[in-house]
Amino acid sequence: MSQLLLAVDVGNTNVSLGVYDYAGGNPRLAHHWRVGTRREQTSDEVGITLRALFDQEGASVAGVTHVIVSCVVPPLLPIWERVCTKLFSDSPVVVGPGTRTGMPIRYENPREVGADRIVNSVAALDLMGAPVIAVDFGTATTFDCISDQGEYLGGAIFPGIHVSMEALFERASMLHRVEIARPRSVIGRTTTASLQSGLLFGYAGLVDAMIERIRGELGPARVVATGGLAQRIAGESEHIERVEPFLTLEGLRILFEKNRSEAGSAARKEK
């Protein structure tokens, strides 16, 4: 019987989910979904949503054998733990202090590092080698830095592009919401084009400047990006080398295998 791993990343804005199928020994991302994060959700509502997502793909929650959860919204973690324990045959692995990562954490207080940042770093190291910078375009834009020795050093955090945009529109009554799209030129000739220029080109310039400063301390690190707007920003960036939409899910898979050796053993037996 094939093993199925459900990877869940609960973020501030969205919940990303992926199902990895270990048939044949090589894990394959068979299904993936993204739903909005709702802090007021009950465990029953989460369970209904999960069942509906699986039904939509013609799959069954009963087929899931293992679960791993990363969560940066503390009130939602016990809800997801309760749902996973109820629906699946195994209690979830929860990414947090004590999780084996295979990566020395050089943060002054490792408990302060968001679980998603560690997950992304583990995946970036596996994918690109060291040194590497992982850039995640989420509610916040995060830069996570791994040394040439494979150590997590820390990074930088600043407001995500959507957060910045919403703050601007709330404070400037004459400005309106716009689609984050590439304008015809940097010099906008309408308010919409001017906003799009600032949001897209300005943000890409900010990202490139941060990467240059980080490389000044870290050395010639490679750069991988993930998150909802990664592809769009990468198209205007000089330094982002690769976009991986499922970087966080891949990191969760890797961490699961590091923390549940029997999963890897079972997968190998199916070869």
- As annotated, the active-site residues are 116
Dist CA 250 CA 7 (whole Å):
9
Residue 226 contacts residue 245 (beta carbons within 8 Å): yes
Residue 134 contacts residue 144 (beta carbons within 8 Å): yes
Dist CA 160 CA 33 (whole Å):
21
Number of other residues whose CB lies within 10 A of the CB of residue 81: 17
Dist CA 35 CA 27 (whole Å):
23
Residue 10 contacts residue 77 (beta carbons within 8 Å): yes
| Closest residue by Cα to residue 229 from 164, 176, 171, 132 | 164
**Residues contacting 109, CB < 8 A, separation 6+:** none
- Residue type, position 223, single letter: V
Retrieve residue 260's tokens: 């549940």
Residue 15: beta bridge partners? 10, 35
Dist CA 80 CA 7 (whole Å):
12
Dmax (CA) for the chain in angstroms is 63
